[in-house]
Amino acid sequence: MCGMKLYLDFEPCQECKTMMKELSSAEILYADDKIRADESAKFLRHLTYNHSEVVKAVMNDLPKQKRNQEYDWFR
Ligand SMILES: [Zn+2]
């Protein structure tokens, strides 16, 4: 659950909400790594284009966390 605090300063748009719901759905959580990576990348791309301030905040926060968990923050 690390990183959820990031959302305190983040106003997700409808698309975000849909993708976050998908990402936390059992369908994705129990999917294989490739599918999960694809879904994560899709969401990350959306954030990059539509909510760059969030990505900046995440990047600033990342070094404090374990590197291999860098995709865990939006779960
Ligand atoms: Zn969005």
The tens place of each residue's pLDDT in the chain, 75 residues long, gives: 444 455 556 788 999 999 999 999 999 999 999 999 999 999 989 999 999 888 887 777 766 655 555 555 555
What is the spatial distance between Cα 70 and Cα 17, in angstroms, rounded to a whole number? 20
Q: Residue 1's pLDDT is what?
A: 41
> How far is the centre of ligand 1, averaged over its atoms, from the C-alpha of 47 (Å)?
6
pTM above 0.85, yes or no: no
15 within a domain of the structure (yes/no) = no
10 within a domain of the structure (yes/no) = no
> How far is the centre of ligand 1, averaged over its atoms, from the C-alpha of 67 (Å)?
24
50 within a domain of the structure (yes/no) = yes
What is the domain range of residue 37? 33-61
> How far is the centre of ligand 1, averaged over its atoms, from the C-alpha of 50 (Å)?
6
What is the spatial distance between Cα 46 and Cα 48, in angstroms, rounded to a whole number? 5
52 within a domain of the structure (yes/no) = yes
> How far is the centre of ligand 1, averaged over its atoms, from the C-alpha of 28 (Å)?
19
39 within a domain of the structure (yes/no) = yes
CA distances from 54 to 12, 32, 38 (A): 10, 27, 20
Specify the number of domains making up the chain.
1
48 within a domain of the structure (yes/no) = yes
> How far is the centre of ligand 1, averaged over its atoms, from the C-alpha of 31 (Å)?
23
56 within a domain of the structure (yes/no) = yes
